[in-house]
Structure 1
Amino acid sequence: MPPGVPLAGEHAPDHAALQQRPWHSRWRLSSVAALLDRALADAGFDRAPWIAVSLAAGIALWFVLDTPWEWVIALMIAMGAGFAGWVIGTRVARFHLGSAIVAVAAALAFGLVLIWARSTMIGAEAYPAPQVKVFAGKILEREEQPAQQRIRLILAVRDAEQGTARKIRVNVPGEQAYDALGEGAVIRFRARLMPPAPPMVPGAYNFARRAWFDGYAATGSVLGPIDIIEPAPEATGLAAIQRLLSGHVRQNLGGSAGTIAAAFASGDRGAITEADEEAMRDAGLTHLLSISGLHVSAIIAAAFFVALKLLALWPWLALRIRLPVAAAAVGALAGIGYTLLTGAEVPTVRSCAAAVLVLIAIALGRDALSLRMVSVAAAFVMFLWPESLIGPSFQMSFSAVIAIVALHNAEPVKRFLAPREESWFAHVGRRTIMLLVTGFVIEIALMPIVLFHFHRAGVYGAFANVIAIPLVTFISMPLIAVALALDLVGLGGPVWWLVGQSLDLLLGIAHFTASQPGAVKLMPQMGLGTLALFVIGGLWLALWRGRWRLLGLVPSAVATVMLLLTPAPDVLISGDGRHVGIAGEGERLIMLRESRSDYARENLLELSGMTGETVTLADWPGAKCSRDFCVITLQRSGRDWHLLIARSRDIVEERALAAACDRADIVVADRYLPRSCQPQWLKADRRFLDKSGGLALFLEDESFTSVAQGEGEHGWWRGNDRRERR
């Protein structure tokens, strides 16, 4: 008997002890890992798209979480998950699951660090308060905005207090838009500058955040004449070519059609009228005005096929090189040139990167229409501009592309579009049906994003796009290219007429669609959680295969119910307390005062989910107004709510004010009120609003949301806190 082996009955190991041996636990973990690994493989798990999603999740976490401590904790959790994945992959069992966890966790951590570092490096501290004084600075950029009868200048001015240059943006009236105000000129001017404004009310546009990443310390308007200290050097570079091209197009084609053609040719949207912009938006055609996937793809495809046909006419070359590779190179150069010419905005760069990847795939004989291609393009854009993730342009662009790729990679669609013996009429009909289905899918994918950012969306966009997209892709843009080419020899006139007819048809479609009953869906405030559920459900449907993908319908269904149950606010209060909107008292929004600009009125209308004209509180029959205050009573859920709203900043006798506050449930004022003013529920005076920002009140729930709740300690909002402490 071998030594060391016990006899039967002598020190025999207990069976329960065997169950606790480490290798038994390891065997169970290995089995679980193997099971999960096989499940992921069966569901079509592809690491590349999920790495891009994790990178986006890390960036989004930084914006959602409030404080640096929370960012650090999230980073530590991601690192812990990565370590757990490494253990699973190396110690428990060598399966793909472990490496997938490591890759996803690393991408999430990298995204969080990336946006944190970018905010720290490029974030611009805002001016502490509004100021009117004389500035001297160098013009960095000039943007033409003829529709608003002005130009917009971005300048570097010297801050006398800090001794550093700061970037500001000012509007210059059209009568002072001299040609000498070009890039490189040094000017002296008097201006009224304001710190970049935070959201007016919860859910409104956050210009302060945008300005933080753009590097703007202030924005404002020029007052009086402009002195040119140093003239601008001779205009060169892409900006000069862009302005020259835009002006040339508008010179040859007037009216609204000329402004649209200038946008297609050079990316200059400054001349498009507000009415045309609004019609295109409500018709679901705004994406045609932004140089993105459609335009870049049309340019690259045209260059590719023209180069392929021309190169094929040279037999010597055709026998020695692969023509698709050469044609792909020509298409890539055309796409990059068009991207640079039109301003290299984020959607254009995204589209160009994706199109170049498609060309590379075609040249290598690989599948060009894949989610891997989309994920690489998304990662490229997020690496360069991580802050673009939270913007509507990035979200809409990639949502549309992901929807298209996922739809056309689905097996039923592949079978429907598979080549077959059929008549020309049937072939065209099949493609038309697919175009309509694609439009519906894109509209469904974009609807939550559009409602979240703009609070309104075109319902009939799928139908309008069936005509508009082929019109722009196959008629308008080729005609513009031909007209510009013929202008070199002075023969472009007849073609410009054809361009005008096609674009007039496009605008006619937009205005007709937008004017139809029910063409616009309004949504006052979609919560961030609702949007997140829509995004999770959409990505799950797009990135998995088989029955697993149907689980994405669950969060999408929950989000839809939450969206339908989202209440409209009863009262909206701006962050400075000067603007108050009251909804639910009829078809018109009640406003405290008329605004000098449309900005306040439009924000209050959009966020209350209303359209049409407004009425001032003083003209509302149910309100009682004096020179200093207005009183109005609102009935919600069987209860009366008494509101006391200040109209002036004049001194009011404190005892009378305290008595009025005691009778009110809510008091709103754009000034500091004494402590003796104690309403029953909410006192939204200047002291409170400085901390909270704008407010949205929901009286049935006796709750409110504030701008500050979504800002945390990020740089663009932390500056407001510092100014308050001073």
Structure 2
Amino acid sequence: MARAVALPLSSGIPLIWSLPDGRAWLSRNMALEVEQRRLFPWIAIFFGIGIVLFFQADGQPALWAPVGAFGLFGAAAIASRRHLTVFSILIALAALLAGFSAGAIRARSVAAPALTRLVIAPVTGFIETVEDREGGKRLLLRLTGMMGVADAGRPERIRVSVRSGEGLSPGQLIAGTARLLPPPQAAWPGGYDFARDASFKGIGAVGSMVGQVRRIDSPQRPGWSLWLAARVDEARNALTERIASAIGGAAGGVGAALVTGKRGLIPEPTNDVLRAAGIYHIVSISGLHMVLAAGTFFWVVRALLALAPGVALLWPVKKMAAVAAMAGATIYCIFSGSDVATERSLVMTLVMFGAILVDRPALSIRNLSIAALIVLAREPEALLGPSFQMSFGAVAAMMALVPLMHRPRLEGARGGFVARGVSWIGTAMLGLVTTTLVASFATAPFAAYHFQSLNPYGLIGNALALPLVSLIVMPSALLGVLAYPFGLDRPIWQFMGMAVSQVLDVSAWVGGFSGSTLVVPALGGAALVLLSLGLILVSVPASALRWMALVPAGAGLAFAATPDRYDVFIDRDGAGAAIRAKGGRLALVGRPSDFVAEQWLRADGDARNADDGSLRQEAKCDAAGCVVAAAGGRWVAFVQDFTAFEEDCRRATVIVTRLKAPPICKASFVLDGDDLKERGATTIRFNPETVELRSVRKGREVRTWAGKEVHRADVSSAPEIPRRARPVPEQDFPEEDLNASDESSTSRPMH
């Protein structure tokens, strides 16, 4: 490759910049990349690009096309393996097609029916998981029957809430009447799509149980997978209750979540405090917990084996400890619920300790790439989630910093016992602060894109809280789990609870700082791609080529600093909207749920809550609808009653309604109920000559201001506008059901 890059140009055109020097610089660095085997990580990168392309495709792509093309490029790569440049290009294309194929195969393997309308019907099913929540429980049911719905259209799983779930446990067969809704799509284009994630989990409906829930005797035993999932969840619930009762209060809920991954007992104010301090990630069983748990197993087993001189001198103690750590990490993953983040962390941990078994460096970008390939091949949809992006981004950035962190440790190894101790503490604190800072910068673009929030004091919160978690909480958790079968665990949980209480105190102190949580406008797709490319270029190359990261990173920051805000947000069924008033801030009209309204506000970089009175001040409303004076002298009307069309169609520039607008409506732009049924949640941006629409189902559209060519305008056959009609009913998705389906997966970053 270096020789190919260094070949002279055939055109021979002279350049002011020294082209030979540039080619020589590029040749030297490419040769170093090959020597350091840094081409392999690009396989994982192109694999991920293929997955992204699959999710951008319309409809259901054919499977034979990507699989066949992958085979052709793979065979061509094998045939040209002696030519490095051609071989590398063909391998990259084969990896891209492999990623596309993985997405297509995964989508077909998890395809399951989902409801398309509101259904109230008797259902029966096995309880797969039970999650305690404030005011009740939330159940994941594997259905065996649903009255009024054919087997072909019956969802495989549903998620329902019950107000009183006493006596319900995993593995039971229950029956009752359920009010079920289709899994809701994103509240705005670019927002979190619960329906997509639910489809990959086999969840075809969400809602609540109405009336009494009955336990019935099962005529047949559940399958082994359901039986195993039920037994694991039952054990998790029992341990969660024991830890929470032993510690008590909010610290009990946090302590239980750290061990079992069950976060339902954590009060919402405590969640807010942890988020504000930038340490909410500690309650999600992921990389930090897996590393601490596996590291504790590794250190304890290796230390015990080292106490026996015969074993230490004759046997590979380090490898034996690595095997024990791998087994312990696997058990911990299964017991903590095997969520996506936990499984991803387990794969990374197993790869790292597997490298020790084959005498390879454990912490390397190559091993991280192998872990990414395994995770994405198993669950391609994980690439689109914040958990994968934030964790792999943080680890990759920290690996790029590892060589710089070794130097102070070596220089501080001289001197006496006190000097070495002080040097060790200083190095540890420097490493903690540096890694936290690097991880914060690496994950900031993903936090801004998915959650529209940044925690500038997260460095302080992590520097104060993580030592407690690493040195006291997690080792105590391991000892508590080992003592649990003997009934000697309560004192250990209480000791752990004191450390957890200190973590909460630190979080409350840091979260109390002014500006501890910054709400920022949603990062655009172009900005996220450019910043991600900058992160890749600074992490993967081993040579000076990493300086190329400044170009996409700078462009990404420029895009992020000038976000394109939408002028109108419209709910998926037209129950409400947020319209940018002439003062520049959004005005709320209609009756969207608080959850949806706050999604709109965060996307706009607005820190107000949905119940803020100022959200309604700039809208002039009556029983028939609302009118908002927007920028540019435009009037936007939100019509809720047929009687409002006559006046609003004459005076308003834009009409938004969930009703069917009459064809004689003279407004410049009309978006009615038929449009919303076709598009789902929609946003509008006003331009001088055009109107730009983005919708969840149809993507980006550009229209002219000529509303008549947009709508079906046949004035000669237009019906009379009714003078009186019933008001539009409230939104079909009750707030409690929407929150129950969305909040567990979208609330905050987990990495």
Same fold (TM over 0.5): yes
* Range with greater deviation from structure 2 (609-618 or 194-203): 609-618
Counterpart in the other structure of 2:169: 182
- 1:700 is displaced (CA, Å) by 5.9
What is aligned with 1:270? 264
Letter in 2 for 1:355: T
AA in 2 matched with 1:464: G
> CA distance change for structure 1 residues 86 and 675 in 2, over 3 Å: closer, same or farther?
farther
Q: Give the alignment partner of residue 523 of structure 1, picking from 509, 512, 520.
A: 520
Shift of 1:580: 1.1
Letter of the structure 1 residue corresponding to residue 352 of structure 2: V
Tell me, yes or no, if the aligned pair for 1:533 and 1:558 is still in contact at 8 Å.
yes
Q: Is the 8 A contact 2:113 2:155 kept in 1?
A: no
Q: Which segment is superposed worse, 511-520 or 303-312?
A: 511-520
Alignment check: 8 A CA contact 2:274 2:508 kept? yes
| Rounded Cα–Cα distance in structure 1 between residues aligned with 2:559 and 2:135 | 39
Number of the residue aligned with 2:192: 205
Structure whose CA Rg is larger: 1
Select the residue among 32, 47, 53 that pairs with 1:42: 32
Match of 1:291 among 268, 285, 292: 285
Q: Deviations for 1:249-268, whole angstroms, at most 9, x for unmatched residues?
A: 11211111111111111111
User: RMSD in angstroms over aligned alpha carbons?
Assistant: 3.3
* 1:506 matches 2:503: yes
How far 1:489 moved relative to its partner? 5.3
CA contact under 8 A between 1:618 and 1:625: conserved in structure 2?
Answer: no
2:68 and 2:408 mapped to 1: Cα distance?
48
Q: Would you say the 8 A contact 1:643–1:664 is kept in 2?
A: yes
Mapped pair 1:673 → 2:666: no
What is aligned with 1:20? none
**1:600 paired residue number:** 596
Q: How far did 1:418 drift?
A: 3.0
Counterpart-to-counterpart distance in 2, 1:565 and 1:705: 19
State the shift of 1:340 in Å.
Answer: 0.7
After superposition, what is the alpha-carbon deviation per residue over 1:481-504, rounded to whole angstroms, capped at 9, x for unaligned?
Answer: 334445555554444333222111
- Of 617, 635, 659, the residue aligned with 1:642 is 635
Letter matched to residue 57 of structure 1: I
The answer on 1:240 being equivalent to 2:228 is no
Greater alpha carbon shift after TM alignment, 492-501 vs 73-82:
73-82
Q: Are residue 611 (structure 1) and residue 607 (structure 2) matched?
A: yes
Could you tell me whether the CA contact under 8 Å between 2:409 and 2:423 is conserved in 1? no
Describe the shift of the 1:568–1:403 C-alpha distance in structure 2 as closer, same or farther (beyond 3 A).
same
CA distance in 2, matches of 1:71, 1:516: 53
Cα distance in 2 for residues equivalent to 1:356 and 1:620: 54
> Aligned match of 1:95 in 74, 79, 83?
83
CA contact (8 A) 1:455 1:524 kept: yes
Q: Secondary structure at the match of 1:309?
A: helix
SS in 2 for 1:431: helix
- Decide whether the 8 Å contact of 1:361 with 1:368 is kept in 2: yes
Secondary structure of the 2:191 match is coil
Post-superposition CA distance 1:542-570 (Å, at most 9, x none): 11122211101111110111011003333
Kept after mapping to 2: 8 A contact 1:157/1:166: no
| TM-score, normalised by the number of residues in structure 2 | 0.82
Q: 1:256 aligns with which of 232, 245, 250?
A: 250
Range with bigger deviation, 622-631 or 124-133: 622-631
Which residues of 2 match residues 174-573 of structure 1 at below 5 A?
A: 174-175=163-164, 177-179=165-167, 181-230=168-217, 237-409=231-403, 412-419=404-411, 420-422=413-415, 423=419, 424-486=421-483, 491-573=488-570
Superposed CA deviations along residues 153-187 of structure 1, whole A, max 9, x for unmatched, are 32224355543452232323232x132x3333332
* Cα deviation digits, residues 76-100 of structure 1 (max 9, x gap): 987887688678x46xxx3322222
Residue equivalent to 2:747: none
Q: 2:157 aligns with which of 165, 168, 182?
A: 168
Residue 114 of structure 2: SS of its match in structure 1? coil
**Counterpart secondary structure, 2:433:** helix
Offset of residue 453 of structure 1: 0.8
Judged with a 3 Å threshold, the aligned counterparts in structure 2 of structure 1 residues 485 and 119 are, in CA distance, closer, same or farther, namely closer
**Residue type of the alignment partner of 1:330:** A
Give the match's secondary structure for 2:575: coil
1:57 to 40, 49, 57: 49
Distance 2:525 2:353 in 1: 37
1:36–1:97 Cα contact (<8 Å) kept: no
Q: How has the CA–CA distance of structure 1 residues 193 and 474 changed in structure 2, closer, same or farther, with 3 Å as cutoff? A: same
Between the aligned partners of 2:69 and 2:249, the Cα distance in structure 1 is: 57
Deviations, residues 440-475 of structure 1 (Å, cap 9, x unaligned): 111111011111111112121122111222211111
* Counterparts of 1:510 and 1:444, CA distance in 2: 20
Q: Is the 8 A contact 2:639 2:657 kept in 1?
A: yes
Report how far residue 352 of structure 1 moved: 1.8
In structure 2, the CA distance between the partners of 1:190 and 1:661, relative to structure 1 (3 Å rule), is same
Partner of 1:686: 673
**How far apart are the structure 2 equivalents of 1:41 and 1:609?**
45
- Stretches of structure 1 lacking an aligned partner (at least 5 in a row): 1-24, 713-726
Q: Does the 8 A contact of 1:170 with 1:222 survive in 2?
A: no
In 2: Cα distance, 1:147 partner to 1:614 partner? 21
Q: Output one character per residue of 1:81-135: Cα deviation in whole Å (capped at 9) or x when no partner.
A: 7688678x46xxx332222222221111011011012112212232121111222
- How many angstroms does 1:623 deviate by? 3.8
Judging changes above 3 Å, is the alpha-carbon distance between structure 1 residues 711 and 136 closer, same or farther for their aligned structure 2 residues? Answer: farther
Aligned residues, how many? 668
Query: 1-side partners of 2:66 and 2:56: how far apart?
Result: 11
Q: Is the 8 A contact 2:277 2:511 kept in 1?
A: yes
Q: For residues 552 and 640 of structure 1, what CA distance do their matches in structure 2 show?
A: 43
- Partner in structure 2 of residue 716 of structure 1: none
Q: What is the match of residue 626 of structure 2?
A: 630
SS in 1 for 2:388: helix
CA contact (8 A) 1:537 1:556 kept: yes
Structure 1 residue 605: Cα displacement: 2.1
**Residue pair 1:85, 1:97 contacting (<8 A) in 2 also:** no
Post-superposition CA distance 1:30-60 (Å, at most 9, x none) = x9x9998865222455232111111111111
SS at match of 1:47: coil
Alpha-carbon distance between aligned partners in 2 of 1:358 and 1:438, rounded to the nearest angstrom: 19
